[in-house]
Chains A and B, each alone.
Chain A
Amino acid sequence: MRRRPQLPLPPEPDCHQVGAVLQSYLDGELGPEDAGIVAAHLEHCERCEIESATVSKVISVIRRQRPDLDPEPIARLAGFIDELEREGPDDLE
């Protein structure tokens, strides 16, 4: 069972406390102070560092699958904003 993240972290958290916020840390969801505390822990804790590298790898192989975005619909939608400004919302609904 995963422990609930307890924030803010103490200055010297144990491995369980770091494990509970590791996902948020890797996703860039921690504030700078907590992120710094996690980074410092990973510097000297081999076990947590290996766990962090593994989770990070899982995230990166998933993110590599991000679909490419066709630029055409985005350009059309940008044009739609121009129309919205020109015509007003009433004529475009």
Chain B
Amino acid sequence: MTASVEVVADDRTDARFREQVLPELPVLYRVARRLTGANADAEDLVQDTLVKAYRAFDRFDGRYLRAWLLTIMRNHHRNQLRKRRPDLLEDEVAQRLPGRDQDARVDGVDERAFRDDFDPLVRSALVSLSSKHRAVIALVDLDGLTYREAAEVLAVPVGTVMSRLHRARGKVRAQLEGHLVEDVN
């Protein structure tokens, strides 16, 4: 009797987990790709996140599922980085998150982050941004995260996301200004 009750409870958990997490897979995969810069690594990172989320699902309070999943992903990714590069300091780990300047030059992480048929002017404007500014644009504008969700991924306050986004878009705007005027009116 007890065993069958447990099975029913597990089935319910499974059904709720699947039903709620399935729609989040595209966002999780987009963000994982941005964190790792490689499709295969991204898939592994999402799988690890799903396992950890599945284990902890009974303790999830039901609010902000996407932010909760992204926090699990970010923490796991940072732990992996620490294991691989224990010499990195905490803030350097944080800076590695979505595409350091060095990554962009060395292995084209940022190239993969944007479309191949990118409008050259917009591409040039985005690539010229600092890694912090590019990261926030990528998460909010390209991956569709809310300010709160982007803040979870970057481990910074929401206000920092807002100010970085404002500055980043301002820089893009400055580079596109002459080309925008005709379209706006």
Give chain A's interface residues, CB within 8 Å of chain B.
2, 4-5, 23-24, 27, 29, 50, 53-55, 57-59, 61-70, 73-74, 76-78, 80-82, 84-85, 89, 92-93
Q: Which residues of A have CB within 8 Å of B123?
A: 65
Q: Which residue of A57, A74, A78, A89 is within 8 Å of B180 (Cβ)?
A: A57
Q: Which residue of A29, A65, A85, A92 is within 8 Å of B142 (Cβ)?
A: A65
| Structural contact, A81 and B122, CB atoms closer than 8 A | no
Give chain B interface residues in 26-80, CB to chain A under 8 Å.
Answer: 26, 28-30, 39, 42-43, 46-48, 50-51, 54-55
Q: Which residues of A have CB within 8 Å of B48?
A: 93
Residue of A nearest to B147 (CB): A29
Q: Which residues of A have CB within 8 Å of B51?
A: 84, 89, 92-93
| Structural contact, B29 and A69, CB atoms closer than 8 A | yes
| Structural contact, A61 and B142, CB atoms closer than 8 A | no
Give chain B's interface residues, CB within 8 Å of chain A.
14, 17-18, 21-22, 25-26, 28-30, 39, 42-43, 46-48, 50-51, 54-55, 113-115, 118-119, 122-123, 126, 137, 140-144, 146-147, 159, 162-163, 165-166, 169, 172-173, 176, 180, 183-185
| Structural contact, B141 and A76, CB atoms closer than 8 A | no
| Structural contact, A69 and B50, CB atoms closer than 8 A | no
Q: How far is the CB of B129 from chain A (nearest CB, A)?
A: 11
Q: How far is the CB of B47 from chain A (nearest CB, A)?
A: 5
| Structural contact, A54 and B173, CB atoms closer than 8 A | yes
